[in-house]
Structure 1
Amino acid sequence: MRRRTRTSVLALAVALTAAITPGIAAADPAPTVPQATLDAGLRCSADLDGATRTPVLLVPGTGADPKQNFDWTWRRSLAGAGIPACTIEVPRHSMGDIQVAAEYVANAIRRMHGRAGRPIAIVGHSQGGMSPRLALKYWPDTRAMVSDLIGIAPSNHGTAAVLLLKPLCSVLGCPAALWQQSSDSRLLQALNRGGETFPGIDYTVITTDLDEIVLPSTAGNLAAGPNVRNVRVQSICPGRLVEHLGIGLYDNVAHDLALDAITHPGPADPSRLGPGVCGRTFMPGTSQSDFVGNLLLTAAVPFLLNLVQQTTAADRLTREPPLKPWATAG
């Protein structure tokens, strides 16, 4: 009897330790990436500590690094608005296993929340709008740490573009993230099984009718709910000419919708946008004079080099990576 009592007390102590220690949760998947490596992928503005405004985690899309996706546009804008921001860099320019990328996102959420002392918002482009959902689903403690998830042209249900590439990938091989973003991938089936959102988090999905990567563009949408809003930029500005990369890199409408979601309760509300939203091409902090140079030298050329590097890597895959045990059980 005494032995059983001691065992019960020990189990209770372990459970209490997990409950009060930041970053520990009994249901968390076992980490595969060293803590120091996860931490090295996070880069934050100095005003994150004890933030007085909701901090923003910026998550890049497939083939992009934070500098290419955010430094010359989003980070400038958020700094100008007095909003603390962090970027996260995951391996292989976000073209490796998205299940590993989710570990980086979960760690970033915890670190930011701990330093800021308040819930954070996430803004992600393309894959970066989808991968945080993996962190929220499979690292349950992170849900209370996030107020908003804003996906810009996100690959929430994959894309038919990769589906068409699968026969070629089966022969020549493709990076893991391409396989996993096919509209029929096992990873996305696991992610979207059992509900796509969680109460307590507001979800805003921003899409463009001219998306040439996420096909159809409605594949980015999340299931309807009181905490979900799916918004097409053309529903606000008819005929707006912005495609997949532009909507995540510099588009003013996407930017204003994201900031509306971050600074108000609930998801974005287009009715709150200012009357001049459609008259501006670029988000605040991005000017016509430096746009072309940054687009080419900071974004487009490095992005293309990343794609070439990863699609020609010797370890490219001829099939989708297996699901991690935690994704299989989810």
Structure 2
Amino acid sequence: MPPRPRLLRTLCLTAAAVLSCVLLTGVSTAAHAADPVDAAKALAAPGVPGANDWSCRPSAAHPRPVVLVHGTFASGSVNWLTAAPALAARGYCVFALTYGEVPGVPVLRAVAPVASSAGQLATFVTGVLAATNAAQADLVGHSQGGMMPRYYLKFLGGAAKVHTLVGLAPSNHGTTLDGLATLAAQFPGALDLLNSGCPACVDQVVGSSLLTTLNAGGDTVPGVSYTVISSRYDEVVTPYATQFLSGSGVHNVLLQNLCPTDVSEHVAIAFDPVALHEVENALDPAHATPSNCLSHG
């Protein structure tokens, strides 16, 4: 027996209500939460000249966006004031994030566990690729920002999305507590945080479980090009040779082999013209030019 007209109307109205609820709540919320560009924009560092232009589209000359990854206690807003505009002036689409916030800790960033920060980097890179329609990105990182991306590459699927990783004074094989204390002394409040608990600091101590896991089975993953740029005057990640990587696709650079009078240390290397010239060479090796004391970014 066919259903009565009133029953049909009731069923239709109920179905429509359910569908409306799904469309207005579940679907729209899921779509918003899953929007990779919005998720990346939430992590973008403010006020970085030349960076985070979400309308930028990579050129044929520079087909991959460059993602800048800051170091411990710093932020994207302070770490890349020199590098970001220099790379943008060269025609790159440049993006910089700030990661590693710990609730209750003001100002200081990149202090959360390295694995957690690597997850934020993964979110940022995915959003950058979606915004720029690029297949891969290049990463340039300083200190922890040169080491942490290796966790993303090795364990979070980043190898398929990254072509080149450039590390400036990266903590690839760890440092000592004295080195971290030296770095902390340069940031107000960081020394207190180091003494009271800084997961990223613990992760970067020589022999930590994080570094043991990260470096087990080799320093690199297939398909990614690596460049490490170090200074013999580094007083934070010591000895400086522990920054270097081994494996295929690795290019290790010591600043003083290019310019013996270059005295840049751990923090200054992120602003050093010789180091930034080597960054540019690593990003575009087909057009690399020799670096020397006259090099500039």
TM-score normalised according to structure 1 size:
0.66
Paired AA for residue 187 in structure 1: L
- Listed one character per residue, the Cα deviations across residues 18-61 of structure 1 (whole Å, up to 9, x for unaligned) are xxxxxxxxxxxxxxxx9966641035224534554221100000
1:218 aligns to 2:220 (yes or no): no
1:115 aligns to 2:131 (yes or no): yes
Deviation at 1:162, TM superposition (A): 4.9
Paired AA for residue 256 in structure 1: H
> Which residue of structure 1 aligns with residue 226 of structure 2?
203
Q: Is the 8 A contact 1:50 1:115 kept in 2?
A: no
Paired AA for residue 255 in structure 1: L
Give aligned-pair identity as a percent.
Answer: 32
Question: Where in structure 2 are there 5+ consecutive unaligned residues?
Answer: 1-35, 46-51, 102-108, 182-190
| Structure (1/2) with the larger helix percentage | 1
Q: Is the 8 A contact 1:162 1:182 kept in 2?
A: no
Deviation at 1:96, TM superposition (A): 1.5
- The 2-side partners of 1:206 and 1:62 are apart by 17
> Which residue of structure 1 aligns with residue 8 of structure 2?
none
1:58 aligns to 2:68 (yes or no): yes
Aligned ranges 1:32-43 → 2 under 5 Å: 39-42=41-44
Q: Relative contact order: is structure 1 or structure 2 higher (C-alpha 8 Å, sep ≥ 6)?
A: 1
> Which residue of structure 2 aligns with residue 86 of structure 1?
95
1:74 aligns to 2:76 (yes or no): no
1:234 aligns to 2:256 (yes or no): yes
- Listed one character per residue, the Cα deviations across residues 220-257 of structure 1 (whole Å, up to 9, x for unaligned) are 111143x1011100011113211000001x10111011
- The 2-side partners of 1:62 and 1:56 are apart by 20
- The 1-side partners of 2:141 and 2:246 are apart by 18
Q: Is the 8 A contact 1:57 1:120 kept in 2?
A: yes
- Structure 1 residues 161, 208: CA separation in 2 closer, same or farther (over 3 Å shift)? farther
- The 2-side partners of 1:255 and 1:163 are apart by 24
Question: Where in structure 1 are there 5+ consecutive unaligned residues?
Answer: 1-33, 285-330
Number of equivalenced pairs: 236
- The 2-side partners of 1:97 and 1:160 are apart by 17
1:278 aligns to 2:278 (yes or no): no
**Bigger CA radius of gyration:** 2
The CA RMSD measured in Å over matched residues stands at 2.6
For residue 53 of structure 2, the aligned residue among 45, 51, 55 is 45
Q: Is the 8 A contact 1:58 1:123 kept in 2?
A: yes
Partner of 1:63: helix, strand, or coil? coil
